[in-house]
Amino acid sequence: MSERHRVVVIGAGFGGLRVVRGLRDVDVEVVVVDQHNFHTFQPLLYQVATAGLDTDDIAYPIRGIFRRQRNATVRVAAVTDVDIGRRTVHTSRGDPLRYDTLVVAAGTISHDFGIPGVSDHTLPLKSVADAVAIRDHVLATFERATFDDQVGHALDVVVCGGGPTGVEMAGGLTELYDRVLRKDYPGLPVGEARITLVEAVDQVLSTFDESLGSKAAATLRKRGVDVVTGVPIARVGDGVVELDDGRRIDAGTIVWAAGVRAAPIADLLGVELGRSGRIVVGDDLSAPRHPEVFAIGDIAVDPERPLPQVAQPAIQGGKHVARQIARRLAGEPTERFEYTDKGSMATIGRNQAVADLPGGLKLSGPVGWLAWLGLHLLYLMGFRNRINVLVNWTWNYLTYDRASRLLAPSDD
């Protein structure tokens, strides 16, 4: 009796989950490989970083997701190599995994664009660990400042990158400072602390309609954020960001949300790579000359049809790839991936968000904010997580408090 067709899915993000779920009723063996044992809801990482949510609120155990899917197993391990000729994936734990179809959905990592000092002096925001590191760094900075006679720029923050992550991070920090830390540290000049958002192009949220980007910038400025646009970052030092125009911005915390590149696994495959090291794919999301290899989400790029690096292309791509695997097993040709743009959203804080939706519909202010809240609750994994997030958001809204500001013990 021949073995079942084995599909190895690398990455348990939005796209990877959709592939596995889409193969639930297909006669295949599915192995999910991820270095973490949980799925992360990345759009809310900034809320962990700004003490609005706990890590458990935005993470869900992978094994729990697929507990009832009989044809799926999980391997928690890092991918160390891929032998595309022998169709084998090597991992940090366990025997090599043979595959008949490989789906790469490993996402991206932070990218410094070769700017000096970024890797040494900034805090990225791409994972749960990154979010906790930012939160702990900010809280520890405040604790140290209580013993300093001269606070200087220790409480200041620079957020590098004016995309959705940077805008939401800057807005979240402003609320944390104004509503919470000002009360927690009455002896510190919290009101004098500067939060600066730096974007290299002329508009924050540059992929949104220009009017929405302008509204987002205006709202941030109204809330006390210094918004700097149209000036690239030249270099980053210890506690300082230097801009191309010669300006220097001192800060005790520097958050990097300015760019990403493909996860390192892309380099292991030996397939054609495109912009930012992303895997080049064809119309059906398979790699040229390797139809058994699919790539979806942020790690993939179709040079003829560039897609935004947000959740929806990964979700839709995952569903598409699952269908194509089923079609191949049935002896049918694969189909072209057709992406449906469902719009983009970004929140700027309490009662304020912008949404650029299909059909020219544009939302902002409280209406956009409510739409943002509802959509994120809808896509959050797990009923318990949805309830926890809703309770936390309600508490934060009614009390102007942030309950998730516990500082992990350290040797400092």
128 with 183, same domain?
yes
- The DSSP code for 409 is P
140 with 187, same domain?
yes
Q: What is the reported pLDDT for 130?
A: 97
pLDDT digits over 359-410, tens only? 889 999 999 999 999 999 999 998 999 999 999 999 988 888 887 888 876 6
Q: Are strands 157-160 and 5-10 parallel, antiparallel or unpaired?
A: unpaired
| Angle CA 365–370–374, to nearest 5 | 150
Residue 176 lies in a domain: yes
146 with 187, same domain?
yes
Q: Give the three-state DSSP class for 238.
A: coil
136 with 250, same domain?
yes
Residue 310 lies in a domain: yes
Q: CATH number, domain at 101?
A: 3.50.50.60
Q: Which of 329, 360, 380 is the last residue of a domain?
A: 329
d(CA 179, CA 372): 21
Residue 55 lies in a domain: yes
Residue 312 lies in a domain: yes
26 with 99, same domain?
yes
Residue 340 lies in a domain: no
pLDDT digits over 119-177, tens only? 999 999 999 999 999 999 999 999 999 998 888 899 999 999 999 999 999 999 999 99
Phi and psi for 292 in degrees, rounded to 5? Answer: -80, -5
104 with 125, same domain?
no
102 with 76, same domain?
yes
Residue 96 lies in a domain: yes
Per the structure, the complete domain to which residue 11 belongs is given by: 5-110+260-329
Q: Which of 271, 297, 329 is the last residue of a domain?
A: 329
By the 10 Å C-beta count (0-12 exposed, 13-18 middle, 19+ buried), 229 is classed as middle
Residue 81 lies in a domain: yes
Residue 388 lies in a domain: no
271 with 252, same domain?
no
160 with 235, same domain?
yes
For the chain of 412 residues, list the mean pLDDT of each consecutive stretch of 10.
Answer: 86 97 97 97 96 95 96 98 97 97 97 95 97 97 92 96 97 96 95 97 94 96 97 97 97 96 95 96 97 97 90 96 98 97 92 92 94 93 92 89 78 56
129 with 95, same domain?
no
* Number of structural domains the chain divides into: 2
200 with 302, same domain?
no
Q: What is the reported pLDDT for 2?
A: 56
Annotated catalytic residue, options 29, 143, 168, 272: 168
Q: Which of 277, 298, 329 is the last residue of a domain?
A: 329
Q: What is the reported pLDDT for 404?
A: 80
212 with 305, same domain?
no
168 noted as active-site residue: yes
d(CA 282, CA 264): 21
Q: What is the reported pLDDT for 3?
A: 85
pTM: 0.94
